[in-house]
């Protein structure tokens, strides 16, 4: 994941190359064992049980061993998800994300635009995911949720 502000002009070229480099190195040099070690060390340092935190995150009766085996399998296969995060995703970056998704079968590339709204003593972050491909459901119908009202007292704010 690479996070940049939209005012950072590097978001258009340098960051794309940087994220692709991370992906190339991750699939070649990272292992689930190494990731798990870092994950567990971080949580133990905070006084948390890594297996419990993972089970809570995954939900249900998830098995940490099964999860980490899947991580290893996906790393070895190059099945990765690359995510760009910014307060505004420029159209040029969106086109790059869409192009990469069409070209890279085993890697998903996403851009997440996070807008901040402030009003009435509240701050709300609203993410918008760009680049996901919608796969038709078995029934052929798609489910949509429409927003009929958005509080007019909220105004966008750039931090």
Tens digits of residue pLDDT in 12-41 = 678 889 889 989 998 888 999 999 999 999
pLDDT at 137: 46
Mean pLDDT of 35-55: 95
The reported pLDDT for the residue numbered 125 is 95
When pLDDT is averaged across residues 53-81 and rounded to a whole number, the result is 91
Pairing outcome for strands 155-156 and 2-3: unpaired
Segment among 44-53, 128-137, 149-158 with least mean pLDDT: 149-158
pLDDT of residue 86: 87
Burial class (CB in 10 A: 0-12, 13-18, 19+), 142: exposed
Could you list the beta-strand ranges (E) of 14-154.
Answer: 80-86, 107-119, 122-130
101-99-142 Cα angle (round to 5): 55
Q: What is the pLDDT of residue 141?
A: 45
Q: Is the pLDDT of residue 148 over 50?
A: no
Mean pLDDT of 135-159: 45
Specify whether the CB–CB gap between 125 and 86 falls below 8 A: no
Please, which pLDDT band fits residue 152 given cuts at 50, 70 and 90? very low
Contact present, 81 and 111 (Cβ < 8 Å)? no
| Annotated domain spans of the chain | 2-113
């Amino acid at each position: 994941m690479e996070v940049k502000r939209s005012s950072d002009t590097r978001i258009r070229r340098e960051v794309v190359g940087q994220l692709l480099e991370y992906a190339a190195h991750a699939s070649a040099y990272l292992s689930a064992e190494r990731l798990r070690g870092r994950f567990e060390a971080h949580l133990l340092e905070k006084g948390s049980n890594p297996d419990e935190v993972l089970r809570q995150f995954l939900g249900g009766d998830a098995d940490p061993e099964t999860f980490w085996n899947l991580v290893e399998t996906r790393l070895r296969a190059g099945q990765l998800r690359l995510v760009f995060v910014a307060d505004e995703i420029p159209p040029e970056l969106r086109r790059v994300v869409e192009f990469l998704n069409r070209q890279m079968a085993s890697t998903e590339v996403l851009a997440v635009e996070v807008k901040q709204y402030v009003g009435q003593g509240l701050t709300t972050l609203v993410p918008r995911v760009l680049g996901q491909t919608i796969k038709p459901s078995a029934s052929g119908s798609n489910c949509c949720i429409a927003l009929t009202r958005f509080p007019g007292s909220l105004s966008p704010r750039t931090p």
